Structure 1
Amino acid sequence: MNSPRPQSQGLQTEDIGFAVLVVLISIAAAYLLAPYFGAVLWGVVAAIMFQPLTANLTERLNGRKNLATSIVLFGLIALFVVPTILLGINIANEATAIYGKVSSGQIDVGRIFQQILNALPDRIRGMVDEYGLTDLENIRRQFGSSITSGLQTVAGRALTVGQGALSFVAALGVMLYLSYFLLRDGQRYGDMVRTSLPLHVETRDALIDNFLLVVRATMRGTVVVAVVQGVLGGLLFSVLGIEGALIWGVLMGFFSLLPAVGTAIIWVPAAIYLFATGDTIKAGIVVFCGVFIIGMVDNVLRPILVGRDTRLPDFVVLIATLSGLELFGLNGFIIGPVIAALFIAVWNQHRDRRQAKADVAGSPIPPQTKVNAERAAEEAVAHPS
């Protein structure tokens, strides 16, 4: 007759073996999905953002889930996918045109720099002379070549997209196909993931809820603000007749992701150039619109869209966004803040657990104090700061 101990050891070995198998298969699955990581990510993001809308529409359509999902998906294609493709094509065409003007000398970087230099006060111009920044040939060679290479890179995307059209279409198809099923059955898949995570129930639910809050807050507070600021900046530059208004508008939307600095990286140099070339009225319009219209969008819209869903410090958002963009490309502006928020949430829970154990090991906690501590812990997880 076998003793219980060998059976326990055998069961433990089988459990360890199964855990190793789960980890290896998960790594293999992640490696398999790597070529379409961006498509899968945006499909998941679309489902997180619009699955509640799909569920609401399904209820209004008397439970016709497929019809509701199709309506939402076609709406996403019309509102986001098609405009993004058209915007990319127009940016490539505009960058190609500007690159041609820079190459042919129609846009002279050295002359532009000289105009700005002449408009500076004598004291500032003297400081510029001390640092040797008046060597126009060197400025034209270094700064001009940097602009030229940058425009050439953007313009070359048109050829790259043409050559990789099949991969682009495949990735877009994967994203839309995945979005359809996640929008339709997202609640069921979410429950499967939730119950499969090897975590305590309270920890698991808090982390998943925090993840969903951060993704929704990032998309609402970042993408919407970036689009609005980019559109306003592009329209402003277009009305004033500034060359490459579409590209500058897109860059304003991109730099709006950065806290504190934001769109000023684009419109401040534009205002300086307009002032240096004698267009003081246009320069004043750019400054006024940049401060009181484009700049106020962030101050007004972001608190309304984000609310208290996520309270990450500005320096954390800046570092997480820049690092995410560096590591993951465009996908990083979502991945970076999400990782940072989950990092803070996990360590907040770890701190609360240690504090709870220390309180239990010490003196008994009065009932009201315990309730207050639990509420504080829940608040820290839901709104990490």
Structure 2
Amino acid sequence: MNLDQETLRKIVTTDLTETLIKVGLIAFLAYVCVRVFAPFSNLVILGVILAISIYPLYQGLVRRMGGKRGLSATVLVLALLLLLGVPMVILGSSFASQISEVHQQFEKGSFTVPAPSPKVAEWPLVGERLHTAWSEAANNLPAYLEKNAEIIRGYTRKALAMAANAAGAVLMFLAAIVVAGILMVYAEAGSRTVERILIRLTSPTEGPSLLKLSVATVRSVATGVVGVAFIQALLLGMGFLLAGIPAAGVFAAITMLLGILQLPALIISLPAIGYLWWAEDGSSTGMKVVFTIYFLIAGMADNVLKPLLLGRGVDAPMLVILIGAIGGMVTGGILGLFVGAVLLAVAYKLFMEWVDSRSLDTVVPAAPAEPIDTDTAH
């Protein structure tokens, strides 16, 4: 059937208009869904990460409790809230109060560094140099603060904002544990749904493999890197609080950051031991010995936790994890430190999987060698 140009133009115009309307409606629907989901995105993402990380522990608990998934999830969530939530609340409040106190002292102009005790100079190897540097800092700090007041004020405001977000981050983490418990109960149905989505986006063979890759990456990074640093920070932070070491919450946060950077926590625990024996706070020698042993064990706990939690290792390069952790902390605070490392590692693994699969598809097989005609050769 032959169509004139006018009729053909009307058909094309009608199809184009309908297509644009459909695309516009889909874009509007996607925009509305994103706006509705945005306030809960951090909570859901963190809940999914926690659910994937502790799911093997949940499966073992389900087997022990006779297959009761709901009861197992409830017990596990309550245990995590007790073991992790209580120390997080204590250290979080300590961190916020200490940062706020420093900011107030700087605003009032009363921030000072106390002069070192003469006993510091008697410490072996570093005592004399440390005493000299400490004394110079104590003597010259007021002039330095006055000279760089505006710059330092900007940093203290950022630190104060981070401290203000500490309470919200702790509550978010506790809520994410509850969300993780709910997700684990429906993990099988959720896994099938995600697998169907990935199959629809890729292929029946690539979809399941991408799901397994994502789960393995999340579990290895969240438990083997961030999880180890988090547990070690809680152990040392609670020890600092019980031992009466100043700025325990701040040192706990620094310990977690050092753990993600793959630096030993002894960098924090050894100076804490030195302060413990130097400070004249009336503590008995027996208590100092107990805390010294505890700080040494907690400072080296990563040597036991990493093989226990890391499994077969983290395939993502450590540089990717570090960038994700630091970038996440800058953009999302303390929780961003956790989520950023995991998400960037997953994105890297998925991208490299796509690169490798496309590279294999484009490899051109070598042409077979042509047989030699012996008759013509002679």
Q: TM-score range by the shorter chain?
A: 0.5 to 0.7
- Report the counterpart of residue 201 of structure 1 in structure 2: 204
Judge conservation of contact 2:112–2:141 (CA < 8 Å) in 1.
no
- Report the counterpart of residue 187 of structure 2 in structure 1: 186
- Report the counterpart of residue 160 of structure 2 in structure 1: 153
Cα distance between partner residues in 2 of 1:16 and 1:362: 46
C-alpha deviations, 1:87-125, integer Å up to 9, x for none? Answer: 323444555667778889997317359998998868x97
Judge conservation of contact 2:229–2:255 (CA < 8 Å) in 1.
yes
What amino acid maps onto 2:142 in structure 1? E
- Measured after TM superposition, the shift of residue 228 of structure 1 is 4.0
CA RMSD after TM alignment: 5.5
Judge conservation of contact 2:50–2:176 (CA < 8 Å) in 1.
no
How many residues align structurally? 349
- Measured after TM superposition, the shift of residue 333 of structure 1 is 2.8
Judge conservation of contact 1:109–1:143 (CA < 8 Å) in 2.
no
Distance change in 2, residues 1:252/1:99 (3 Å): same
C-alpha deviations, 1:244-268, integer Å up to 9, x for none? Answer: 33442343234322234x5466457
Judge conservation of contact 2:232–2:301 (CA < 8 Å) in 1.
yes
C-alpha deviations, 1:170-203, integer Å up to 9, x for none? Answer: x689646643431221210221121023112333
Judge conservation of contact 2:58–2:73 (CA < 8 Å) in 1.
yes
Structure 2 counterpart SS, 1:318: helix
C-alpha deviations, 1:207-261, integer Å up to 9, x for none? Answer: 222221222222322344224432453466567653233442343234322234x
Query: Normalising by structure 1, what TM-score?
Result: 0.65
Distance change in 2, residues 1:23/1:168 (3 Å): farther
Which of 1 and 2 has greater Rg? 2
Distance change in 2, residues 1:238/1:179 (3 Å): closer
Asked if 1:253 is matched to 2:256, the reply is yes
Segment drifting more, 22-31 vs 144-153: 144-153
Distance change in 2, residues 1:246/1:201 (3 Å): same
Structure 1 counterpart SS, 2:301: helix
Cα distance between partner residues in 2 of 1:181 and 1:140: 51
Of 312, 315, 326, 2:319 maps to: 315
- Measured after TM superposition, the shift of residue 37 of structure 1 is 2.4
Cα distance between partner residues in 2 of 1:360 and 1:94: 63
What amino acid maps onto 1:311 in structure 2? D
Cα distance between partner residues in 2 of 1:12 and 1:206: 38
What amino acid maps onto 2:84 in structure 1? F
Cα distance between partner residues in 1 of 2:319 and 2:173: 34
- Measured after TM superposition, the shift of residue 349 of structure 1 is 2.7
Structure 1 counterpart SS, 2:220: helix
Asked if 1:242 is matched to 2:245, the reply is yes
C-alpha deviations, 1:126-178, integer Å up to 9, x for none? Answer: 9x99xx997443235479966994798289739x96xx8xx997x68964664
Cα distance between partner residues in 2 of 1:350 and 1:245: 45
- Report the counterpart of residue 368 of structure 1 in structure 2: none
Distance change in 2, residues 1:269/1:358 (3 Å): same
Distance change in 2, residues 1:177/1:238 (3 Å): closer
Unaligned ranges ≥5, structure 1: 365-385
Structure 2 counterpart SS, 1:201: coil
Judge conservation of contact 2:81–2:174 (CA < 8 Å) in 1.
no
Judge conservation of contact 2:50–2:177 (CA < 8 Å) in 1.
no
Judge conservation of contact 2:325–2:341 (CA < 8 Å) in 1.
yes
Alignment of 1:1-385 (within 5 A): 24-58=28-62, 60-93=64-97, 108-109=112-113, 111=115, 135-141=140-146, 149=156, 153=160, 157=164, 175=176, 178-197=179-198, 198-234=201-237, 237=240, 242-260=245-263, 263=265, 266=268, 293-363=297-367
Distance change in 2, residues 1:264/1:19 (3 Å): farther
Judge conservation of contact 2:235–2:298 (CA < 8 Å) in 1.
yes
> What percentage of residue pairs aligned between the two structures are identical?
23
Distance change in 2, residues 1:54/1:101 (3 Å): same
Cα distance between partner residues in 2 of 1:329 and 1:110: 30
- Measured after TM superposition, the shift of residue 361 of structure 1 is 4.4
Judge conservation of contact 2:229–2:260 (CA < 8 Å) in 1.
yes
